Amino acid sequence: MPGGWTGLVLTALVVFLISDLLLSFFGPGGATTISYTEFNNQLNKGNITKIYSKGDAIEGTLKNAEPKPDGGKGTYTEFDTQRPVFAGDNLWTTLQQQGVEVTASPVVQQRSFLANLLISLAPMLLLILVWVLLARRMAGGLGGGALGRKAPPKPVTAEAGRRTTFADVAGIDEVEAELSEVVDFLKNPQQYRRLGAKMPRGVLLSGPPGTGKTLLARAVAGEADVPFFSASASEFIEMIVGVGASRVRELFAEARKVAPAIVFIDEIDTIGRQRGSGGGMGGHDEREQTLNQILTEMDGFSGSEGVIVIAATNRADVLDPALLRPGRFDRRITVSPPDRDGRAAILRIHSRHVPLAGDADLGQLAKVTPGMTGAELANLVNEAALLAVKRRQDAVNERDLSDALEKVQLGAVRPLVMPQAERERTAYHESGHALLGMLQPGADPVRKITIVPRGRALGVTLSTPETDRYSYTEPYLRGRIIGALGGMAAEQVVYGVITTGAESDLEQVTNIARGMAGRWGMSERVGRLTAVPSDPQGAYGLSAAPTTLDAVDEEARRIVAECYDEAVRLLTEQRARLDALAAALLEAETLDEEAAYRAAGVPRKTLDQA
């Protein structure tokens, strides 16, 4: 029986149609309605053979066909009419005189037995139908939402077109290598079974968003050519209570049926957070139940069935230890943003179907995009292609790529007319950031400065590292803070007042300073311990004494205060350079690396000096 409301409505419609059909079958046929006057005329002409009456309604048959009244086409013999209540004619006498056969039935007519049965049963039938449907839904373990359809997890098998394979993944070769073992197992599980080797039941992929975790899971399924069952952990929570666990059960049951198969649970941190820790508003039990169900299912594996669970998370550090126990997600793979060669490879993959002009250099683009993830690079290529379309070119060239990069890194240009005073202030603010960035030894070089409003910002200063950075030194971090405070300091130095424009600068500064004091052991007073957890939501879960947290706060304040003084000192000392840079910026609105260093009169540091 088709479930859902459509099914119900359809059934109701069919019942209605059938009863209507039956009723009309037993009901009156297709007679022509005529006026009572016309009826009288025909009667007086002696043209009526028989009539049948029910109350004042009369149906009857003519001897000879008559043209239809009211200019209707054709003729009629069957007719019906209505006798007015006030008609004082001696109808019965006339009928007798004309020798018309008269039949009559009681005013309250008995319907046929069948019609009566149908009519009286129809509402009951409908009720029973609704009840059965509801009961089924309940029995099915609340398989769908309250009103939603019951949706068994569908394997994403050989979707229309080609499936994802490792050829679609680049820049994370070490991860691919680890996963190819899983692929091998899924391809020939007998081999492993024969030697008594057990495969990990669960593989946990962790890494920043956009690094290709979902993509990898799909690629594993594609490479091994096995069904892929995927669910996002947040789906489990959004559904009504009790559904999450049963959905998990279904997911695994389906996967077992077609094993070898992959069950993929995306964003598992939504349900897999440490029990009894932060973020426990509402849906807490639901989360726990779902998580327990996953654990139960994984424990239920005999290990040789060939169902492998892959889970992905951005936050492996907040996961419940129960998930990471041996026999569960015991294989953990970290997926990191790609390095330079990786970025070039990813750019090539995503530009496979994008015609590139001769001057478009993906290797160069990879060089200037340190820290970008696969998703960001894919987006970058797409933005460039969109620009090329807009510019009516038939290939993507260097300019499209660099404009797209600018848009991706700095945000889209906002058409905003700024008063001259605001522009000046913004120019000084950005020049402050940029100049301090240029002057800090070892800081990332300034790539671009602009006072064209973009995104939420009134201006942007972009510095990116020369090469990929994997760890940071204390002087570098201080340099970052000084640079970030540069905007505010410049306003202070030039105008003597500060504005609200520095909010996001301060957020950045706070994060770095707190990290230095509380996480990375860069403060003597706090000591070499982590007092501030990397997960802000669980801030009270970590056992740091209040005095330690106070110390972290004070130390962070001290660091920021020192850096601010240094920023103001440097800008006051370098006021001439600041003025020159701001003037150039006001003039040109956007300065690239070379122009910026030239305007400020700062020699561009080469790589080995940095």
Site for Zn ion in 500-559 (CB under 5 A): 505
**103 Cβ contact partners less than 8 Å away, ≥ 6 residues apart:** 50, 51, 52, 53
By beta-carbon proximity to ligand ADP, the closer residue of 206 and 440 is 206
Q: Are 434 and 600 in contact (CB under 8 A)?
A: yes
Contacts of 102 (CB under 8 A, 6+ apart): 50, 51, 52, 53, 92, 95
Q: How far is the CB of 340 from ligand ADP (least distance, A)?
A: 14
Which residue stretch of 102-110, 203-211, 278-286, 441-449 sits at the interface with ligand ADP (rule: CB under 6 A)? 203-211
Q: Indicate the pairing of strand 48-54 with strand 57-67.
A: antiparallel
SS3 419: coil
Of the residues 430, 491, 555, 566, only one is catalytic, namely: 430
Rank residues 143 and 171 by Cβ distance to ligand ADP and give the closer one: 171
Tokens of 415: 């058409």
Q: Which is nearer to ligand ADP, 210 or 227 (CB)?
A: 210
Q: Which of 260, 374, 445, 487 binds ligand ADP (CB under 6 A)?
A: 374
Q: Does 214 help bind Mg ion (rule: CB under 5 A)?
A: yes
Nearer to ligand ADP, 313 or 450 (CB): 313
Region near Mg ion per CB under 5 A, out of 213-221, 269-277, 472-480, 551-559: 213-221
What residues from 468 to 507 belong to the interface with Zn ion (CB under 5 A)? 487, 505
Helix then strand then coil, in percent of the chain rounded to 5, is 50, 15, 35
Size of the residue set binding Mg ion (CB under 5 A): 1
Min CB(383)–ligand ADP separation in Å: 14
Binding mask 208-237 for ligand ADP (x = CB under 6 A): -xxxxxxx----------------------
Residue of the chain from 95, 170, 323, 571 that contacts ligand ADP (CB under 6 A): 170
Q: By rule CB under 6 A, what string of x and - marks binding of each residue 309-328 to ligand ADP? A: ---x----------------
What minimum distance in Å lies between the beta carbon of 470 and ligand ADP?
A: 18
* Residue 171 interacts with, from Mg ion, ligand ADP, Zn ion, none (CB under 5-8 Å by kind): ligand ADP
Kind plus residue range of the DSSP H or E element containing 440: none
337 is a site residue for Zn ion (CB under 5 A): no
Contacting residue, 48, 291, 356, 378, with ligand ADP by CB under 6 A? 378
Question: By CB under 6 A, is residue 582 in contact with ligand ADP?
Answer: no
Q: By CB under 6 A, is residue 172 in contact with ligand ADP?
A: yes
Q: How far is CA 489 from the centre of its chain?
A: 41
Helices 420-439 and 575-588, axial angle in degrees (round to 10): 130
| H-run or E-run covering 202 | strand 202-206
430 is catalytic: yes
Q: Are 604 and 597 in contact (CB under 8 A)?
A: yes
Nearest to 300 by CA among 266, 249, 258, 236: 249
List all residues 6 or more positions away from 202 whose beta carbon is below 8 Å from its beta carbon.
298, 308, 309, 310, 311, 323, 328, 329, 330, 331
Report DSSP letters for 67-82, one per residue.
EPSTT-SSEEEEEEEE
Amino acid at 555: E
Residues that bind Zn ion (CB under 5 A): 487, 505
Judged by the rule CB under 6 A, the positions of this chain that interact with ligand ADP are 169-172, 209-215, 312, 346, 349, 374-375, 378
Residues that bind Mg ion (CB under 5 A): 214
